Structure 1
């Protein structure tokens, strides 16, 4: 797949920002974006880094909830 044909949605909560050429992380429950301490949107150069950040940022049901 060519770089400019990368789908806009890569997995649940991890999105490709074509303008910045970075992956962004969104909490799909609260609809807020992961931000850096200075308030800027968080950005990741690789999908695996973004996925790892999303796993911490997203709210997950625990067994028994």
Structure 2
């Protein structure tokens, strides 16, 4: 998925892809999409799973988080 396709997805970091009814994960710092080992875009059925993957994929302090 190229960056010009990104606006059709809603959200920040974790985005819902209405075409496949799945969540996608994007590193907003680099613009990179989380991919499976096969190179295909990773997709998640549940938001909580996608959010957990995003927290590992995009590592930086978020608003309100304390730096350890």
Return 5+ residue gaps in structure 1 as ranges: 1-7
Ranges of 4+ aligned residues in structure 1 off by more than 3 Å: none
Encode CA deviations 1:21-49: one digit per residue, 9 max, x unaligned: 10000000000000000000000000000
TM-score, with structure 1 as normaliser? 0.77
Offset, 1:9: 2.4
Instruction: Give the conservation status (yes or no) of the 8 Å contact 2:10–2:17.
Output: no
Return 5+ residue gaps in structure 2 as ranges: 1-8
Count of residue pairs the alignment pairs up: 56
RMSD over equivalenced CA pairs, Å? 1.6
Larger CA Rg, structure 1 vs 2: 1
TM-score, with structure 2 as normaliser? 0.74
User: Is the partner of 1:24 in helix, strand or coil?
Assistant: strand
Matches within 5 A, 1:8-23: 8-10=9-11, 12-23=12-23
